[in-house]
Chain A
């Protein structure tokens, strides 16, 4: 009797075991595997960045940080952290950020960063005291380092600590071990290539999270190295030339569209941003009146002034509004024939240029010729040609922050100002004033298109992904797709000879007897085609004269210049914008053009302007 009861009870136990072990086996096996198997992500090494000749311009350097392992501290975390604070500097901000990180969810035995960027002395001091500091460790990490600092910051951008918003945007799995992400520029645009693919170590851990053995190891795939079209020496020389100015230069190789130099001054040190800039330093940068954080080269919107005249000229003669040999008499002003008020549109030269044809109009930058031709051509035609030159849109491939600026049209004005287009607007547009706004990058693109006689090469910074072959040779591969900006159609003129007319006029600017920049181009051993420009910052009333010395510096005219050289085989196209005419307060011909000449010399002749002109650069 008792044994029957025992049998029944044991039968119950066995059937319970049967349910657990056979019926629910799959479920419990899964739980058991989840218990013991952890995936430990391993961060890939970020790709390096080189200039066009293979100079390393973005490196990864080991950085040491002190970390805290809560599990080994036996509840004395804050005391131990305070002890660390006695040994090395821990600012209130470090502690605040540490406590925030400490609250985040983490796996057992995952360390929490206390302070980064330890100096060798600090590492030594900490290691001497290791025995008194259970759970404190010094860990090494690779962080981005920009050896040329602010020279390349506006060309390359920088990386910084990844934030929550960015984490949501990227593939969370691939970034599970990553601390840094491209924030600006090339670093941002080629983030997915530079980043690489995360590795995974499938490990078996015990209940305390300690790794017992590695079950599977998928090595991380390092990011691709980039080779940029940037010519580091040219970039450095350009930066030096623009020192103490609010200015920018974009130089493009017209044969490829590759950007040789992209400088915006003042700049700032990108290394400050990598591990997190202090609020004080950041505010100083942000509130500086010179706007160092502002990338003038691709985001600065300037009225192009006379540098736009080659496009106006092409629009006028190619659309057939005026013949190629059109001549105008310039008394020093222009009035629209049917203007009731007979409003006078002044030439920059009050006495006028007399009889002016296209060639002289470009060489002398005669406003009246362009007023007349522009009036006859009309806004629709002018806008159309400017659009073909890429104004008012972003045509570059890998400059994520580039802006479209403004290309005014009749409908644009209606939308923007609820006004119709007046004939005077066309006159202003013809000489690059008024509503038209361009960026230095767009002006350099214009110079490139003139050099290429309308053949489009989209501006870009990437030369290719760089690999070093087995014999040490550098192999460059092109990305499958580059950017989302479609390539504009090449500019087809009805008569291709018209290119020659315009280019001849631009050459006359530099080399002609009456050219505005004859002092700059006259002695050059190669032919330059250029166009000076001076852009008004404030309007000047009817009957008033512009006098730089009477204006606040910030209201003085901007000095602009575009050029390409050599004329018969263009190797470089350039745009220079110096805000408020620079220290000397000059215009395009006296301030911007001489700078461009030095840059062209440096690139084409290999002349170091530092040596050529002694210490006197500007």
Chain B
């Protein structure tokens, strides 16, 4: 406590030099908020074209974004201490729900991902996505960093449990993102390099085992990734069409609503996972670079905010959330452009779909909360 106190004293002195603006009351970070709003606007713009000019889709998505911003605002008010205290319990609840999903879940295409409660369908993996970094951070931040081997092992267990449950659903994409979000916390904690190399070696050794446990369609996706031309009308169709869409866009694109691949339905899932292909086809490399620049600014701002935080729990979760955000982007664009296998991951703020937006915005809410609460003595 005393350490925290002295740090807050230091910070408050700098704080005193500036006039407390309206932003400090709302606990929001203005640059990040503006960047996120720009990203959402950009997303709606592309979605209108990707959904075959269906304004219904755009309205729904806008409402979700609104919900996301409200969620962010709410989360930003919660003090990090509260998050730290609640995280393990929410985590436990989430794991129980995941077990429930496996037992009673509903879903489609051979995967059980949702719990159908009266009036609402929830996807517990999304809860875990938010809460896992918090929990791992909680586990590691209890002692001064770097963490001991025992802590690392506990953290890995915490990560492995939901990851395996989600893989079992099966939802390979989400489980990979969740695992990586947890592992990022570990990496941020200053874990020793030899542990990193050790676990990398272990992971490599595990690959065949992973292959054995994969579902047929997952194996097929990997095979398709390795050689998409082998089955051009079946599993390779998506990736061939998305590469064609991207490639035919050229430097400046075919023009908004003019993308033939996306407007004539050659591109599957054009408004969800493959939406970047629509952007690439219609706005070309310029559009893609604009989007990536926007993403980079958000990541830079987020990492800068994380760096400002001095307590280990806060820094760990901020870094992990930002890096998870990055993993979404990287894996999605990588898969659509054919350098990574096809895993069902949405592109943050761009792909049509509610849960992902709300959880991501809640994540940004956490970052803002951690960042803005650093001035306040708890």
A residues contacting B by CB (< 8 A) are 2-3, 6-7, 9-10, 12-14, 16-18, 20-22, 24-25, 27-29, 31-33, 35-36, 204-208, 212
Cβ contact within 8 Å between B261 and A35: yes
Closest Cβ–Cβ distance, residue B110 to chain A (whole Å): 21
Task: From the candidates B241, B244, B246, B260, name the one contacting A17 in the complex (CB within 8 A).
Answer: B246
**Provided the pairs A14-B289, A14-B292 are in contact, do residues A29 and B250 lie with their beta carbons within 8 angstroms?**
yes
Cβ contact within 8 Å between A36 and B264: yes
Does B364 make an interface contact (CB < 8 A)? Answer: no
For A22, list chain B residues within 8 Å (CB): 250-251, 285
**Provided the pairs A3-B300, A9-B330 are in contact, do residues A14 and B288 lie with their beta carbons within 8 angstroms?**
yes
The docked-state distance in angstroms from the alpha carbon of A13 to that of B280 is 12
The docked-state distance in angstroms from the alpha carbon of A7 to that of B337 is 18
Cβ contact within 8 Å between B323 and A32: no
Closest Cβ–Cβ distance, residue B155 to chain A (whole Å): 18
Cβ contact within 8 Å between A24 and B247: yes
For B337, list chain A residues within 8 Å (CB): 13, 16-17, 20
For A204, list chain B residues within 8 Å (CB): 260, 264
Does B352 make an interface contact (CB < 8 A)? Answer: no
Cβ contact within 8 Å between B285 and A10: no
1/0 per residue B185-215: CB within 8 Å of A?
0001000000000000000000000000000
For A208, list chain B residues within 8 Å (CB): 265
**Provided the pairs A3-B303, A21-B249 are in contact, do residues A28 and B292 lie with their beta carbons within 8 angstroms?**
no
Does B339 make an interface contact (CB < 8 A)? Answer: yes
The docked-state distance in angstroms from the alpha carbon of A191 to that of B299 is 72
Cβ contact within 8 Å between A28 and B264: no
Which residue of chain A lies nearest to B248 when distances are taken between CB atoms in the complex?
A32
Chain B, range 258-289, C-beta contacts under 8 Å to A: 260-261, 264-266, 280, 284-285, 288-289
Closest Cβ–Cβ distance, residue B228 to chain A (whole Å): 13
For B334, list chain A residues within 8 Å (CB): 13, 16
Interface of chain A: mostly helix, strand, loop or mixed: helix
For A16, list chain B residues within 8 Å (CB): 334, 337, 339
Closest Cβ–Cβ distance, residue A303 to chain B (whole Å): 67
Which residue of chain B lies nearest to A30 when distances are taken between CB atoms in the complex?
B248
Closest Cβ–Cβ distance, residue B113 to chain A (whole Å): 27
Task: From the candidates A9, A31, A207, name the one contacting B248 in the complex (CB within 8 A).
Answer: A31
Give me the 9 closest cross-chain CB pairs, A-B, nearest first.
A28-B247, A32-B248, A206-B264, A207-B265, A29-B248, A28-B248, A20-B247, A21-B285, A25-B250
For B249, list chain A residues within 8 Å (CB): 21, 25
For A36, list chain B residues within 8 Å (CB): 260-261, 264, 266
Cβ contact within 8 Å between B265 and A6: no
1/0 per residue B284-305: CB within 8 Å of A?
1100110010011001100100
Task: From the candidates A3, A14, A32, A212, name the one contacting B244 in the complex (CB within 8 A).
Answer: A32
Chain B, range 231-252, C-beta contacts under 8 Å to A: 241, 243-251
Closest Cβ–Cβ distance, residue A576 to chain B (whole Å): 66
**Provided the pairs A9-B330, A36-B260 are in contact, do residues A20 and B299 lie with their beta carbons within 8 angstroms?**
no
The docked-state distance in angstroms from the alpha carbon of A205 to that of B263 is 11
Known: A6-B326, A14-B292, A206-B265. 4 other contacts (CB 8 A): A10-B296, A29-B250, A32-B245, A206-B266
Cβ contact within 8 Å between B319 and A32: no
Which residue of chain B lies nearest to A25 when distances are taken between CB atoms in the complex?
B250
The docked-state distance in angstroms from the alpha carbon of A3 to that of B188 is 12
The docked-state distance in angstroms from the alpha carbon of A110 to that of B204 is 51
For B244, list chain A residues within 8 Å (CB): 28, 31-32, 35
**Provided the pairs A2-B319, A21-B247 are in contact, do residues A32 and B292 lie with their beta carbons within 8 angstroms?**
no
Does B333 make an interface contact (CB < 8 A)? Answer: yes
Among B247, B285, B326, the most chain A Cβ lie within 10 Å of the Cβ of: B247
For A35, list chain B residues within 8 Å (CB): 241, 244, 260-261, 264, 266
For B303, list chain A residues within 8 Å (CB): 2-3, 6
Closest Cβ–Cβ distance, residue B196 to chain A (whole Å): 13
For A12, list chain B residues within 8 Å (CB): 339
The docked-state distance in angstroms from the alpha carbon of A69 to that of B84 is 63
Which residue of chain A lies nearest to B288 when distances are taken between CB atoms in the complex?
A17
Cβ contact within 8 Å between A10 and B295: yes
**Provided the pairs A7-B296, A10-B295, A205-B264 are in contact, do residues A17 and B280 lie with their beta carbons within 8 angstroms?**
yes
Cβ contact within 8 Å between B243 and A28: yes
Closest Cβ–Cβ distance, residue B282 to chain A (whole Å): 12
Chain B, range 315-371, C-beta contacts under 8 Å to A: 319, 323, 326, 329-330, 333-334, 337-339
Cβ contact within 8 Å between A2 and B323: yes
The docked-state distance in angstroms from the alpha carbon of A157 to that of B54 is 59
Closest Cβ–Cβ distance, residue B269 to chain A (whole Å): 12
The docked-state distance in angstroms from the alpha carbon of A603 to that of B248 is 72
Closest Cβ–Cβ distance, residue A287 to chain B (whole Å): 50
Closest Cβ–Cβ distance, residue B142 to chain A (whole Å): 23
Closest Cβ–Cβ distance, residue B244 to chain A (whole Å): 5
Cβ contact within 8 Å between A3 and B288: no
Which residue of chain B lies nearest to A22 when distances are taken between CB atoms in the complex?
B251
For B260, list chain A residues within 8 Å (CB): 32-33, 35-36, 204
**Provided the pairs A2-B319, A35-B261, A207-B265 are in contact, do residues A20 and B246 lie with their beta carbons within 8 angstroms?**
yes
The docked-state distance in angstroms from the alpha carbon of A453 to that of B244 is 76
Closest Cβ–Cβ distance, residue A204 to chain B (whole Å): 7
The docked-state distance in angstroms from the alpha carbon of A207 to that of B3 is 64
For A13, list chain B residues within 8 Å (CB): 292, 330, 333-334, 337
**Provided the pairs A3-B300, A205-B264 are in contact, do residues A25 and B319 lie with their beta carbons within 8 angstroms?**
no
Task: Jot down 20 A-B pairs with beta carbons below 8 A, ordered by A.
Answer: A6-B326, A7-B296, A10-B329, A17-B285, A17-B289, A20-B280, A21-B247, A21-B249, A22-B251, A25-B248, A28-B244, A32-B248, A32-B260, A32-B261, A32-B266, A36-B260, A36-B261, A207-B266, A208-B265, A212-B264
Closest Cβ–Cβ distance, residue B315 to chain A (whole Å): 11
Which residue of chain A lies nearest to B281 when distances are taken between CB atoms in the complex?
A32
Cβ contact within 8 Å between A18 and B285: yes
For B266, list chain A residues within 8 Å (CB): 32, 35-36, 206-207
**Provided the pairs A17-B246, A31-B244, A35-B266 are in contact, do residues A10 and B292 lie with their beta carbons within 8 angstroms?**
yes
For B338, list chain A residues within 8 Å (CB): 20
For B300, list chain A residues within 8 Å (CB): 3
The docked-state distance in angstroms from the alpha carbon of A549 to that of B295 is 109
For B284, list chain A residues within 8 Å (CB): 21
For A212, list chain B residues within 8 Å (CB): 264
The docked-state distance in angstroms from the alpha carbon of A14 to that of B289 is 7
The docked-state distance in angstroms from the alpha carbon of A163 to that of B176 is 58
Cβ contact within 8 Å between B292 and A29: no
The docked-state distance in angstroms from the alpha carbon of A22 to that of B188 is 37
For B326, list chain A residues within 8 Å (CB): 6, 9
The docked-state distance in angstroms from the alpha carbon of A6 to that of B243 is 23
Closest Cβ–Cβ distance, residue A203 to chain B (whole Å): 11
The docked-state distance in angstroms from the alpha carbon of A7 to that of B244 is 26
Closest Cβ–Cβ distance, residue B368 to chain A (whole Å): 19
For A10, list chain B residues within 8 Å (CB): 292, 295-296, 329-330
Cβ contact within 8 Å between B280 and A21: yes
The docked-state distance in angstroms from the alpha carbon of A253 to that of B250 is 70
For B246, list chain A residues within 8 Å (CB): 17, 20-21, 28
Closest Cβ–Cβ distance, residue A105 to chain B (whole Å): 14
Cβ contact within 8 Å between A3 and B299: yes
For A28, list chain B residues within 8 Å (CB): 243-244, 246-248
Which residue of chain B lies nearest to A9 when distances are taken between CB atoms in the complex?
B330
Closest Cβ–Cβ distance, residue A11 to chain B (whole Å): 9
Closest Cβ–Cβ distance, residue A56 to chain B (whole Å): 46
For A33, list chain B residues within 8 Å (CB): 248, 260
Closest Cβ–Cβ distance, residue A418 to chain B (whole Å): 66
Closest Cβ–Cβ distance, residue B317 to chain A (whole Å): 14
The docked-state distance in angstroms from the alpha carbon of A392 to that of B312 is 111
